Amino acid sequence: MSVMTYRQALRDALRSEMHRNADVFLMGEEIGLFDGAYKITAGLLDEFGEKRVRDTAIAEEGFTGAAIGAAMLGLRPVVEIMTINFSLLALDQIVNHAAKIYGMFGGQARVPLVIRTPGGGGQQLGATHSQNIELFYAFVPGMKVVAPSTPADAKAMMLAAIRDDDPVLFLENLSLYNTTGEVPDEDIPAEIGKAAVTRRGADITLIGYSRMAYVAARVAEELAESDGLDIEVIDLRSLRPLDRKTVVESVKKTHAAVVLEDDWLTYGIGAEIAATISDGGFDYLDAPVRRVAMAEVPMPYSKPLETAALPSADDVIGAIRQTLDAVGRRTLMENKS
Amino acid sequence: MATRQRTTVMPPNSGAHRGKPFTAETEYPVGTGAETDTVAGERAVDFYRQMVFIRRFEERAARAYTQALIGGYCHLNLGEEAAVVGLMAALRPTDYLFTNYREHGYALTRGIEPERVMAELFGRSDGVSKGWGGSMHMFDLEKRMLGGYGIVGGQIPLATGAALAIDYRGVDEIVMCTMGDGTTNIGAFHESLNIAALWSLPIVYVVINNRLGMATTVDKSSAEPELYKRASSYRMEAERVDGIDPVAVFEGAQRAAAVARAGKPFLLEVMTERLRGHSVVDPGKYRGAEAIALTKERDPLVTFAAHLVDNGLLTETEITVINDDAINRATAAAAFAEASPFPHVSTLFDYTYATPVANDSHRLPGQPLFEPAPFLQSEVTR
């Protein structure tokens, strides 16, 4: 085990896979000479050369599509799209091509492609650079979408994504890059499609992914100390496929849930989680499932407005207290009758 | 044959074009053949045979469509037979082809069995894409036909990436990527040509210019209607050839392929005709009588047959035999397709992912996410 940042864990995984397999190469804007806009690929150009660390033109549709085509011939490209906002320029290639090629040709062509891209807000980047639109990709069968929240998962899931024969959208997060954690020294790939119960508890279930799984873990710790609450935390880790079973099994035990997401609430990923709990856990619930999500506005630039729009730890704590309050009142009513 | 040769080759990096606008009446000097293989008589007859087969196959497909044996969209290569045959003849078996949704002729000429092409149109399990693709999405790895694509321009970045993979591995192969005239207005076209030129990728982009994107003419959709000239923005060599002459197309494609094999991209524009509507269901009423008459005059089957007869390479009797043979093969393909079983519904979830993954949904519409809770189950069973 070594303690390292989320950024370092990603870089280590990329480097390790490039050493392991000569078919693995990197493509993206400013990933070589500039070391990557967020320095994930720092030093890799020097180590592997221009053939395997390719700076591209600003042409998301062109270079993402080229990566898909190269993957069809058996290479294993890892594309960096500078932020998930710019992935919209490659939407046709990702949704209409990468996600379809295996199916629409009857299983004859595989697309072993990884698209790395950070989402996030809170950096005062304004309306077009602060979005969390992973839902667009998680909606599409044929895509795999992973969203690690810890350095250990960042490494393990990157190893898994590169070795996978399907297109994987690998969601990173701007505010997680500098977070630290213990990471195994060995290369052990994660299993895509599985959530993790990152903290066991009996009182209520918190469900999140990416930055909001990180927030959930912090809030659970805080409330354990301050209120003695016993909170269970689920890190979804994979948005497609979605591990519904782990979510429902937890709610069956805790009888209450709050879903945390950085995207917009209406039609968001939390809506799918709430619907899942309704389907599999309806008879076990003691309170409605609450969702904590971003305010439904284009992200403003000004700091107080941006802070107000983003879900915070305090917003989560408020939702937990209100949910537990609803559970308490219900229990009280049932005891009276 | 009125027209036999190319209009121009743009010298690398010159930015200059010596081409002139193509019209059906323009007569171009016959090439010397010095820079390419010449096409011997036997090969010309073989070209004709392949062209006739595409025509009869497409006509048989159109009939099957009206009989509701084929669903969805169905775009035919009618009028483009010379272009298809000439282009495919310039490829080696180890080269890759990416094309669009007007692709049946390419699949056939690339060497895929007509039975499997027709079975794909019929949505049957013996289809070239096992019934998952249909008219627009045929794929055969062995024949290196890496797909027909339905989104206009979608194949261009993919083909460019295939050329990148060839370059990455340093193998002696090229990619050919065909598209329609309307496709040259889409961003993916320009992004891809830029990438291919920057990285010196071994790819031939082919614009099949029938002057119509559905009903919209090239003049109305392209600020530079001489489409091959668009390559000059990327300092890419380009050329325009007459697409009703399979020999002219073949020779142009050979020149283009030679450039690609030397590690440079090339843009080849092939002037063709669309004899019918955009797809089977389009009567094409938006075209004037004059345009239709001109198109009919440039039917490649008619003009090339006349050329072969004039040059003593074929007799009318032999033409009849070739035609009857093509009809018989198309009929046999349709019979095979109709007898082929539909894919079984149990295979519905077979091709979502290549690498099996935990929690992949295999749920049919209406099925619940979870079984009802045990205490509810017991009430039901009571």
Catalytic residue (choose from A17, A80, A129, A261): A129
CB-based contact B202:B261 (threshold 8 Å): yes
Nearest CA distance, B233 vs chain A (angstrom): 15
Predicted pLDDT of residue A53: 98
CB-based contact A84:A117 (threshold 8 Å): yes
- Domains along the sequence of chain A with CATH: 2-183 (3.40.50.970), 196-336 (3.40.50.920)
Rounded to an integer, the average pLDDT of A180-196 is: 98
Please tell me if residue A193 touches chain B, with a CB cutoff of 8 Å. yes
Rounded to an integer, the average pLDDT of A90-119 is: 98
* B191–A142 CB contact, under 8 Å: no
CB-side exposure of B84: number of CA atoms within 13 Å? 30
Report the alpha-carbon distance of residue B198 to residue B245 in Å, rounded.
Answer: 33
Q: Which residues of B touch A53 (CB under 8 A)?
A: none
Is B15's pLDDT higher than 70?
Answer: no
CB-based contact B181:B150 (threshold 8 Å): no
Q: Which residues of A touch B101 (CB under 8 A)?
A: none
* A51–B168 CB contact, under 8 Å: yes
Report the alpha-carbon distance of residue B330 to residue B54 in Å, rounded.
Answer: 9
Type of residue at B62: A
Type of residue at B175: V
Tokens coding B12 = 């690398």
**Residue of A68, A248, A280 lying closest to B158 (CB–CB):** A68
Q: Which residues contact A183 (CB under 8 A, 6 or more apart)?
A: A1, A2, A3, A4, A9, A12, A151, A152, A155
**Residue of B165, B359, B373 lying closest to A244 (CB–CB):** B359
Report the alpha-carbon distance of residue B116 to residue B139 in Å, rounded.
Answer: 11
CB-based contact A25:A18 (threshold 8 Å): yes
Rounded to an integer, the average pLDDT of A271-280 is: 97
Nearest CA distance, B232 vs chain A (angstrom): 18
Predicted pLDDT of residue B290: 87
Is B39's pLDDT higher than 80?
Answer: no
Percent of chain B surpassing pLDDT 70: 88
Rounded to an integer, the average pLDDT of B54-75 is: 96
Nearest CA distance, A252 vs chain B (angstrom): 10
* B191–A110 CB contact, under 8 Å: no
Which of A53, A56, A73 is the best substitution to test chain B (most B C-beta atoms within 10 A)? A73
**Residue of B132, B164, B375 lying closest to A106 (CB–CB):** B132
Report the alpha-carbon distance of residue A116 to residue A10 in Å, rounded.
Answer: 10
Which range has the worst mean pLDDT, B21-30, B132-141, B367-376?
B21-30
Nearest Cα residue to B80 out of B185, B209, B248, B239: B209
CA gyration radius for chain A? 20
**Residue of A65, A70, A109 lying closest to B141 (CB–CB):** A109
Report the alpha-carbon distance of residue A155 to residue A152 in Å, rounded.
Answer: 5
Catalytic residue (choose from A17, A29, A60, A172): A60
CA angle B193, B194, B200 (to 5 degrees): 85
* A284–B373 CB contact, under 8 Å: yes
Quick one: closest CA in A to B375, which residue?
A283
Average pLDDT over all residues of chain B: 89
Nearest Cα residue to B70 out of B333, B284, B347, B346: B333
Which range has the worst mean pLDDT, A64-73, A259-268, A318-327, B209-218?
B209-218
Helix (H) or strand (E) holding B114: helix B114-121
A129 part of the active site: yes
Predicted pLDDT of residue B12: 36
Q: pLDDT band for A54, please (50, 70, 90 cuts).
A: very high
Rounded to an integer, the average pLDDT of B265-270 is: 98
C-alpha distances (whole Å) from A263 to each of A135, A234, A248, B138 are: 8, 17, 22, 38
Q: Which residues of B touch A191 (CB under 8 A)?
A: 358
A60 part of the active site: yes
Report the alpha-carbon distance of residue B287 to residue B277 in Å, rounded.
Answer: 9
Report the alpha-carbon distance of residue A233 to residue A214 in Å, rounded.
Answer: 10
Tokens coding A193 = 């499609």
Predicted pLDDT of residue B380: 52
* B359–A70 CB contact, under 8 Å: no
| DSSP symbols for B237-279 | EEEEEETT-HHHHHHHHHHHHHHHHTT--EEEEEE----S-SS
- Domains along the sequence of chain B with CATH: 41-344 (3.40.50.970)
Please tell me if residue A88 touches chain B, with a CB cutoff of 8 Å. no
Predicted pLDDT of residue B285: 87
Q: pLDDT band for B24, please (50, 70, 90 cuts).
A: very low
CB-based contact B151:A92 (threshold 8 Å): yes
Is A246's pLDDT higher than 50?
Answer: yes
Nearest CA distance, B332 vs chain A (angstrom): 24
Is A183's pLDDT higher than 60?
Answer: yes
Predicted pLDDT of residue B379: 56
Report the alpha-carbon distance of residue B369 to residue B363 in Å, rounded.
Answer: 8
Higher pLDDT, B378 or B307: B307
Beta bridge partners of B99: B148
CB-side exposure of A59: number of CA atoms within 13 Å? 21
Report the alpha-carbon distance of residue A221 to residue A236 in Å, rounded.
Answer: 18
Please tell me if residue A113 touches chain B, with a CB cutoff of 8 Å. no
* B352–A97 CB contact, under 8 Å: no
Report the alpha-carbon distance of residue A15 to residue A12 in Å, rounded.
Answer: 5
